[in-house]
Structure 1
Amino acid sequence: MDGIKYEVFTGKSIRLLENNQYTSNVESGSTRTEIKHWIELFFGVKVIAMNSHRLPGKGGRRGRGPITGHTMHYRRMIITLQPGYSILTLIQKRT
């Protein structure tokens, strides 16, 4: 599970939970087949589709001087599971 960083909870990702789709950020060097394999082994579910896109890093100043920098880019995966399968999320743990 080193490739999966954390789950994403935005307005769109919460709407996608109704369609049995889960959103998470993964390492940019991970392949789709690796991510699918990790999710199926760790959570014991069946993945039927995966969509991904690469989000750019954010730039900005560091400190008071003219030094600028940026954060690393990352990939976001939207994973669709077969009907009948689900992944326990933080939203479900609260209720």
Structure 2
Amino acid sequence: MSAKAEHYDVIRKPVITEKATMMSEANGVVFEVAIDSSKPQIKEAVEALFGVKVKAVNTSITKGKIKRFRGALGTRRDVKKAYVTLEEGNTIDVSTGL
């Protein structure tokens, strides 16, 4: 498997929320990432795919909620988010896509 394919396995999609939009004004981007990915892997993937310098990576795991669907119990999947802070002068426009 090529290195680029591995980077796409680490980063799933950008998260576009009110909080993520506020972060983008302060050189930050939020991505949904693979649950087993590490901070160095995330940093390497963002730098390789977008050609930017990463200053810091913070992560959080949100546990999946238990929901009912047609009376049956089901569980949403766990989600890991990466809050990536970029070096000064670097930007990523997540609205254009990869």
Spell out structure 1 runs of 4+ moving beyond 2 A.
Answer: 61-64
1:2-81 aligned at under 5 Å gives the runs 2-64=9-71, 67-81=72-86
TM-score (norm 2): 0.83
TM-score (norm 1): 0.86
Give CA deviations for 1:28-62 in whole Å, capped at 9, x if unaligned. 11111111111111111110111111111121123
> Which residue, out of 68, 79, 87, partners 1:82?
87
Question: Gaps spanning 5+ residues in structure 1: where?
Answer: none
Over the residues paired in the alignment, what is the CA RMSD in angstroms? 1.2
Aligned residue for 1:40, secondary structure, equals helix
State the aligned residue count: 89
Give CA deviations for 1:2-21 in whole Å, capped at 9, x if unaligned. 11111111111111111000
How far, CA to CA, are the matches of 2:17 and 2:79 in structure 1? 16
Amino acid at match of 1:57: G
Identity %: 30
